[in-house]
Structure 1
Amino acid sequence: MVGERVVDRLPDNWRWIVTTRAAVVLALLVALLSVATGIYNIDQEAADFGPVASHVPLAVQEAVGFTGALTGFLMVGSALALRRRLRAGWWATLLLLPLTAVQGLLQASPYSLPLVVLSVCTLPTLLLTRRQFDRSLSLTTTQLAAGGALVGVQAYGTFGAYALREDFDGIEHLLDAFYFTLITSSTVGYGDIGPETEEAMLFTMSVVVLGVASFGIAIGALVGPAIQARISKTLGKMTDSELELLDNHVVVLGYGDLTEPIVNELHEADVQFVVVTDDESAATELSDRDIRVLTANPSDEEPLRRVRMEDARAVLVATDNDAEDALAVLTARQLRPNIRIVTAATDRQNTRKLKRAGADDVISLAELGGHLLVRSALGKDESPVVSRLLESE
C-alpha cells in the first residue's frame, strides 16, 4: 500500500507520533463518544431521535443506546491494547469501529453525528498503522483455562435455564436465561426470576457454585498477573513467571553508558536478553521500553540464578567501572564455568585482569577506537592492524 510505504519512510520517533499515537488517540475518542452518546440516548423517547427515527424499528431504537455504551467500553479496552501495540487490539478496534458508526446512525440523533464521522475517519489511520501493532498477546495455559471456564459456566447456565424455563418464574426467552445466569453467578440476585420446582432449585444452586468459582478463578488468573506485572514494571523488576520463560538468552550484567548501545543492538536484533543492574532509575527506564530487567547487584549469585544463568547462551559485561565488571565476570564464571563471557575494558591496562577474572574476550575500547579511526582514514585494506583485527573477529 502507498500509505504504508510513506509511513515506513518516516523516522521511528515521528512514525510513533504521527501514526501510532494518532490511532490510539482517535480510538480512545471514539470510545468516549460512544459511551457518552449511548448513555444519553438510553433515556430518550423515539420522537426525540429526529426524522431518521421513522425508518428505524422501535426495538432497535430502544437497544442502540445500551449497545452503544457497551461498545464504547469495549473500545476503551481495545484502545488500551493499541497503546501497548498489541496485534489483538488492532483487530478488535478494526471490528468495533464499523459497529460504533452503525450504532451512531441507528441512534438517529444529532449528538451521534460526531461519533459516525470520527469512526469513519479513524479507519484509514488504523489501516495505515497496521504494521506498527506487531506485538502478540501471550496468554498462559492457566489464563486460557480460566477464560474458558467462565464462558462455559455462562453457557451452561443460559442454555440450562432456557431448557428449564417452565420451572422458572420469569424466563421466557434466551435473553432472560442469560440475564438470570449472569445475575445469579455473580451473586447479585435481584430476585425477579426464581425457581419454582426442586429441579430448578438444584440447577440454580449449581449455577451459583460454578459461577462464583469461575468468576474467582478468572479474576485471579486474568487480572492478577496484569496487576503484578504493572507493579513489577513500576519497580523495575521481573516477575517469577517471566523469569521462568527465559531460555537460550543473553545476560547483560550491569548498566551504564557503554551498555546502552549493546541493549539497543540486542533489542533491534530481537534477541532474548535480560539486564541485571542495581540502578533503580535505569531499571525503570528499561522497563518502560519493554526490556527485561532485574533490579539487583550483578555481582551477587542469587540474582544470576534468578535470571536462569544455567540456560543462558552468553554473558555481556560493559559498564564504566572495570572493577565492578571484574566482580560480575568472576561471579558469572563461578556459576557457569562453560558459558561465553565477553566484556569491555575502559582502561587498556585492565584487559589482562578481566581475562584472569574469567572473561573469554575483552575488548579494549581505546585500542578499538584507534583501529576504527585508522580504518576510516586509510581504508579497510590499507591498514594491516585493522585487517588483523577484522580477521580475528
Structure 2
Amino acid sequence: MANDPSETPMDAALRELFHREDRVPFVYWQEFTGTRTTVLLTGAVAVLAFVTGLSHLSQATLEFGGPLAPVLPVGRGTVENVVPFGVVLLAFVLGGLAVGLGRRLWIAWYGAVAALPVGAVLVFVTAEPTDVLLSCLSLGTVGLVVRNRAAFNRSLDLSGFQIAAIVAFVAGQLYGALGAYALRTQYDGIETWVDAFYYVIVTATTVGYGDATPATQQAKLFTLSAIVIVTGTFAVASGSLIVPALESRLSAAFGTMTASELALLEDHVLVLGYGDLTGSLLDELATTTDVVVVTSDGDTATALDERDVKVLTADPTEEESLLEARIDVARGVVAATEDDSGDILAVLAAREANPEIRIVAAASDHRHVGKFERVGANEVLSPAVIVGQQLSESVQDDVNRDRARARATDETGGANGTNGTSQADGTDDGATTARDGDPSSGSEHDGAT
C-alpha cells in the first residue's frame, strides 16, 4: 500500500532469512513411516507374539470365546490347544520375515502381508485382553508394509545349488510324510497326518524319540530309505543356507557391511576410497548424515569399522560395487584420495551407475581438474589451488593492514605537525604586535641605543 512505510534494510534481511515461499513440514513423516520403521515394527510384532503365545501356554485352562473361534477348521475343544502353539509359530515366522524385509526382499513383503493379519485377528478368536496390543500393533504394521511396497523390490538371491537343495529338502519331507501315512497301519504310533509329519521331522533331525516305530519288514525298509533321503536333504539344505550366513558374519568381522545393512541404506553419502582428505571429511559428515566408505584396502576397512564408520570392502572403480552400496538412492558421492587416476575411474563408474547423482571430487594435481569434469564430476576442488589462494589472501590482508596502519600514522603525524606550526606562528605574531603597539618598547629601545 502507498501509506505503508518503506522497507528498511533490517526488515529486508529478516524477511529473506525467515520467509519461505515453499511449505516447510513441521514433522517429516517419512522418517517415522519409512522402511526402517516397517522392519522394526515387524520385529516388534514377532517378539510380542512370542510373549503372547508363551503367556497362553503358561495358563492352566484356556477358554477362547471370541466371535471367530467357532469358524476355525479345528474342533471347538482343540482351539485352546492349537492357538497358543500357532501364535508361537507365528512369532518365528514374523521374525524370519523381518529379516527378509531388512534385506528388501519382495517375497518377505508378501509373507508379511499374509502373516500380519493373523496377529491382527487373534483377539477376535481368543477374546483375551492381553491380545489387544498384539492385534493393534499387527494392524498398524501391515498398513506400513503396504505403504512401503515399492521399497521391497529385491528378489531372493539364491544360487542354483541353494534352490536345488531347498527343492530336494521339500521333496524329501513329502516323500517321508506320504510314505509314513500310507504305511501307518504298519507302524506303531502313526495314525494321522500330524503323526506322519512328526515322524519325518524327528527322523530328519536324527532325534528319534522311539514313540513311532516300524512294525513290519516293509515299514523298516521304507524307514531306511527315509533316513537316507530325509536326513541327507535336510543336512544339505541347512548347510547351503547357513554357510552364506556365516560368510556374511565373517565379512562383518573383517570390516565390511552385511547385505541387510546395505539394504537399509537410504539418502547417504558415498565416499570412494580413503585418504588424508577423506579422514577430515568423515568427521564433518558423520554428525549430519549417513556415510559409507567404499575401499578395497582391507586394513583401512578394519580401522574404519573400529571407528564405527560404515564401510564396504570393494573396488570403488567397479560399477557393481557402487550398486551394492546403493548408489541409486544415495544423496551424493565424494572422491578425494591422493590418487587422481583412481579417483577419475571411480567418478566414471559412479556416473555410469547413477547418471543423476551429484559427484564432488578433489584433484591433487590442478592440471587434472578438467579431466574430472569430463568424466562426470559436478564440482572439482583442487586442494593445492585452495591453499595457494588462502595463503595469497592472508599475505595480502597482512600487507593491507600494514599499509593502513602506516597511512593512519602518517595522517596523525601530519595533523600534529600542522598544529605545532600554527602555534609557533601565533606566538611570533603576538610578539610582533606587542612590539609594534607598546611605546615603551620603542623608548627603551631608543634609550638603549
TM class by shorter chain equals: 0.5 to 0.7
Cα deviation, 1:53-76, whole Å, max 9, x if unaligned, reads 984722223201111110111101
Distance 1:67 1:351, change over 3 A: closer
Match of 1:115 in 2: 134
Give the Cα–Cα distance (whole angstroms) in 1 for the partners of residues 213 and 86 of structure 2: 27
Give the Cα–Cα distance (whole angstroms) in 2 for the partners of residues 53 and 126 of structure 1: 25
Does structure 2 conserve the Cα–Cα contact (< 8 Å) formed by 1:346 and 1:364? no
Distance 1:325 1:187, change over 3 A: same
Aligned-residue offset at 1:17: 4.1
1:20 aligns with 2:35: yes
1:165 aligns with 2:184: yes
Match of 2:97 in 1: 78
Does structure 2 conserve the Cα–Cα contact (< 8 Å) formed by 1:94 and 1:123? yes
Distance 1:54 1:221, change over 3 A: closer
Does structure 2 conserve the Cα–Cα contact (< 8 Å) formed by 1:61 and 1:106? no
Give the Cα–Cα distance (whole angstroms) in 1 for the partners of residues 37 and 337 of structure 2: 39
Cα deviation, 1:83-136, whole Å, max 9, x if unaligned, reads 233222222111101122234432332211221222122222221111222333
Give the Cα–Cα distance (whole angstroms) in 2 for the partners of residues 108 and 350 of structure 1: 73
Alignment of 1:91-170 (within 5 A): 91-170=110-189
Does structure 2 conserve the Cα–Cα contact (< 8 Å) formed by 1:24 and 1:82? yes
Distance 1:232 1:54, change over 3 A: closer
Match of 1:32 in 2: 47
Any stretches of 5+ residues in structure 1 without a counterpart? 1-8, 240-251, 262-273, 308-315, 330-342, 355-359, 371-393
Distance 1:164 1:84, change over 3 A: same
Does structure 1 conserve the Cα–Cα contact (< 8 Å) formed by 2:369 and 2:382? no
Give the Cα–Cα distance (whole angstroms) in 2 for the partners of residues 133 and 53 of structure 1: 32
Match of 2:301 in 1: 280
Distance 1:203 1:19, change over 3 A: same
TM-score by length of 1: 0.63
One-letter identity of the residue aligned with 2:57: I
Secondary structure in structure 1 of the residue aligned to 2:121: helix
Any stretches of 5+ residues in structure 2 without a counterpart? 1-23, 259-270, 283-293, 322-332, 344-360, 387-449
Does structure 2 conserve the Cα–Cα contact (< 8 Å) formed by 1:42 and 1:65? yes
Alignment of 1:264-303 (within 5 A): 275-277=295-297, 278-280=299-301, 284=305, 293-294=313-314
Aligned-residue offset at 1:191: 0.5
Does structure 2 conserve the Cα–Cα contact (< 8 Å) formed by 1:318 and 1:325? no
Distance 1:128 1:282, change over 3 A: farther
CA RMSD of aligned residues (A): 4.5
Does structure 2 conserve the Cα–Cα contact (< 8 Å) formed by 1:168 and 1:196? yes
Aligned-residue offset at 1:344: 6.5
Q: Figure out how many residues of one structure are paired with residues of the other and give that number.
A: 303
Match of 2:9 in 1: none
1:65 aligns with 2:84: yes
Aligned-residue offset at 1:22: 2.3
Match of 2:254 in 1: 235
Distance 1:76 1:108, change over 3 A: same
Give the Cα–Cα distance (whole angstroms) in 2 for the partners of residues 45 and 205 of structure 1: 41
Query: Residue 347 of structure 1 is aligned with which of 362, 365, 373?
Result: 365
TM-score by length of 2: 0.56
Cα deviation, 1:152-210, whole Å, max 9, x if unaligned, reads 11000000111111111111111111110111111000110100011111111221222
State percent identity of aligned pairs: 36
Give the Cα–Cα distance (whole angstroms) in 1 for the partners of residues 376 and 151 of structure 2: 37
Give the Cα–Cα distance (whole angstroms) in 2 for the partners of residues 54 and 95 of structure 1: 20
Distance 1:104 1:140, change over 3 A: farther
One-letter identity of the residue aligned with 1:41: H
Does structure 2 conserve the Cα–Cα contact (< 8 Å) formed by 1:348 and 1:364? no
Give the Cα–Cα distance (whole angstroms) in 2 for the partners of residues 238 and 54 of structure 1: 46
Give the Cα–Cα distance (whole angstroms) in 2 for the partners of residues 187 and 178 of structure 1: 14
Aligned-residue offset at 1:21: 2.4
Match of 1:268 in 2: none
Distance 1:27 1:193, change over 3 A: same
